[in-house]
Structure 1
C-alpha cells in the first residue's frame, strides 16, 4: 500500500527523495533512475520538472538553503546586545550545519555561484545585517564587503577541512581556532573612536551602517552621493586624492 502524502507536489517528492538518497548514500546514489524510484515516479518526470540532473541538484541546493534558513531564523536574535558574539553565533550555525549534513552542504556550496535562490539571498541578508551592526558599533576593522567574504570563506574552509579529515583525526578545536581567526580579522579588540589615528574610516563605516536602513531627510541623489563619499572614506581612511 502506498503511504506517501498525496498533498506533497511531485516536484517536492522528487527533491525530498533526492536529499534522502544524497545523505544516505552520497552523490553517487543520486541517479535520476534511483530518485524517480524513491519518489514513486517515472524518470521522465525529473527531466520534465528539472530539465536534467544538474537542475535537480540546483533544486536540492535550494531545499537545503530553505531548511537551513528556517532553523537559522528560529535562533535569530533580532536585537543582539553583543554584535561580536552574534557574529560568532552565526558562524557556528553555518559550520554546525555543514559538519552534520556534509553531503547536502557540499551540494549547496557548489550551487552558490549559480543563480542564488530566495532562501540563499535571505541568508546573505542576515549575514549583512550582522556586519552592519558591527560597523555601526565601531567594531568593524575592514570594509563590509571584505568582512562578508572573510566570514563566508572561513566558514566554508572550516567545513571542508573538518569533513575531509579522517574521523579519528578530527579536532573540534580546529573549528574554534578558525572562528576566532575570522573574528580577529573582521573586528577590532575594542570599538573604534569616531576618528582614529589612521583617519575617519571607522566613523565612515559606522555612519554608512546607520544610514543603510534609511535616511528620510535625504533625496535619492543625495543618498547616492553620500554613499560614494562614505565608501571612499571607509575604504582608505580618507587619504587625500589628487
Structure 2
C-alpha cells in the first residue's frame, strides 16, 4: 500500500511539474522554461525535476508528450465519414488550429526532430491520421501511396503553422493557410475515384488497401498479390 501511495504522489508531482513547464512555455516562451523557474512554479525543489525527468531535456520531452495528449483529446475519429476528402480537410484544419492556438507548445512538439514521437499519444494521433488515409485509399480517392500521403499531410500542416508563426502580424494572411491546405488536398487526393479512371494504378491502390481485410487467399497468395499490386501502383 505504501508503495502504491508513493507512486501516486510521484505521478501527481510529475504532472504538476509538466503543467507548470507547459504554462511557462505558453505565457513566457521557451527561454523561461528553466529548471529553477519550473520548480518554483510547481512548488517543488529543483532536485525533484532531475529525479523525475533526468534533466531539462527529459522534462521538455514530457512537455511535448503532454502536448500530443492535449491535441489527441481534441481529435475526432469518424470511422465512416460521408466524404473522406472532407474528413481529411477537417483533420488538417484542426491540426493547424491547434498549432496557432498553442505556438510555444507546437514549436516544441514539431520544431525539433522526433521530440516526443515515441509517446502513446503521438502514436494514437498517427493512427487516426493513417485511418483517414486508409479510407481514402479504399475509396479509390488516394493519389499517392499511404506512407507518402502521411508525410505530405504532416509536412504541409507543420510548414503552415511554423511559417505563419514566423511572420509579423501584418503579414499573416489566412489565404496562406487555405492555399497550403488545398495544395495538400490536390497532391494527395483525386477528384473522382481512381477505379473509374483508365489505367490499373488507382484500382490496384484501392485493392491494395483492402487486401489485409480479406480471408479467401492464403498467406502466400496474399503476399504474392500484394507484390503485384505494389508493382502496378508504382507504374504510373
TM-score by length of 2: 0.90
Structure 1, gaps ≥5 residues long: 1-5, 238-242
Matched, 1:67 2:70: yes
Inter-partner Cα distance in structure 1 for 2:166 and 2:108: 15
The 1:56/1:217 distance shift into structure 2, 3 A limit, reads same
* DSSP 3-state at the match of 2:195: coil
Matched, 1:225 2:224: yes
Inter-partner Cα distance in structure 1 for 2:145 and 2:20: 42
CA contact (8 A) 1:61 1:107 kept: yes
1:111 positional shift: 5.2
1:112 positional shift: 5.3
Q: Which residue of 2 aligns with 1:211?
A: 211
1:194 positional shift: 5.4
Alignment of structure 1 residues 94-173 onto 2, 5 Å = 94-110=95-111, 113-114=114-115, 115-173=117-175
Q: Which residue of 2 aligns with 1:236?
A: 235
RMSD between aligned residues: 1.8
Q: Which residue of 2 aligns with 1:41?
A: 44
CA contact (8 A) 1:195 1:201 kept: no
Inter-partner Cα distance in structure 2 for 1:101 and 1:230: 42
Inter-partner Cα distance in structure 1 for 2:92 and 2:81: 15
Inter-partner Cα distance in structure 1 for 2:111 and 2:159: 13
Considering fraction of residues, name the structure with more helix: 2
Q: Which residue of 2 aligns with 1:92?
A: 93
Q: Which residue of 1 aligns with 2:53?
A: 50
Larger deviation, residues 26-35 vs 218-227? 218-227
Equivalenced residue count is 227
Q: Which residue of 2 aligns with 1:3?
A: none
The 1:56/1:124 distance shift into structure 2, 3 A limit, reads same
1:186 to 188, 209, 213: 188
Matched, 1:29 2:28: no
1:195 positional shift: 6.0
* DSSP 3-state at the match of 1:77: coil
Structure 2, gaps ≥5 residues long: 1-8
CA contact (8 A) 1:102 1:163 kept: yes
1:220 positional shift: 3.7
